[in-house]
Structure 1
Amino acid sequence: MIEPLITLISAGMLLTGGAFAVIGGIGVVRFPDIYTRLHAGGVTDTIAPLLIVGGLVLQSGWHQLSFKLLLILLFLLFTTPTASHATARAAMAAGIEPVTRDRRRASGESSSNT
């Protein structure tokens, strides 16, 4: 009786996590500079694995595999924000300026998205 409900919740988590991952990938390709790309990638790289691994844990049940999946999730939750932060600091140290509306107009890009 409860197994179909767990399967439905798991499928919802897996689909939602996959959607977040795709949206984050589109944001990384679409955004103009490293800082906005880091934001798109960093936020979705935290929530997507949480949902995907959560769905996989529900599918696998409470076994040794679930413990391994949770360890992978813990590793991802610590390393992804740290990597994003280190990349942003490296970009700042290299003198990379964020793209602003004034900089777009000065370089001749269209501002149709504003």
Structure 2
Amino acid sequence: MSPLDFLSAAFLFGGGAFCLAGTVGVLRFPDVYCRLHALTKVDNLGLGLVVVGLALQSGSWATALKLLLVWFFVLISSAFTCQLIARAALRGRGAAPWGGRREP
């Protein structure tokens, strides 16, 4: 195996570990806001590491650019979706953040 293969494997395993940590956070955190934080931040970093690992193994710059564009669009859609879910939780159910009070 070449050093590029080892570097790619390290990025892939690191991305998988971050995705696993985000999943554990979604299952264990106490409220919707903490869960959203774990889901958006950790899983986006995990996906980024996976994309970098795959881009290192891709045969062309075009494929690597496509992978980076997919990651970029996932980052944007994740931010919008997280904001919409948090707003719906606050307005619809009146779910106050854990340990805090809801402002009128």
TM-score when scaled to structure 1? 0.78
**CA offsets 1:48-86 (integer angstroms, 9 cap, x no match):** 111001100001133432232122111112111221111
> Which aligned pairs between 1:96-111 and structure 2 lie closer than 5 A?
96-100=95-99
Paired residue secondary structure (1:32):
coil
Q: Distance in 1 between matches of 2:50 and 2:40?
A: 16
> Which aligned pairs between 1:27-42 and structure 2 lie closer than 5 A?
27-42=25-40
> Which aligned pairs between 1:1-114 and structure 2 lie closer than 5 A?
4-94=2-92, 95-100=94-99
Pairwise CA RMSD: 1.7
Q: Distance in 1 between matches of 2:83 and 2:7?
A: 33
Q: How many residues align?
A: 99
Unmatched tracts of structure 2, length 5 or more: none
Structure 1 runs of 4+ aligned residues shifted over 3 Å read none
Q: Distance in 2 between matches of 1:77 and 1:4?
A: 31
1:87 Cα deviation from its structure 2 partner: 1.0
Unmatched tracts of structure 1, length 5 or more: 102-114
Percent of matched pairs sharing the same residue:
40
Q: Distance in 2 between matches of 1:6 and 1:80?
A: 30
Conservation of the 8 A alpha-carbon contact between 1:25 and 1:41: yes
TM-score when scaled to structure 2? 0.85
Greater Rg by CA: 1
Paired residue secondary structure (1:38):
helix
Paired residue secondary structure (2:2):
helix
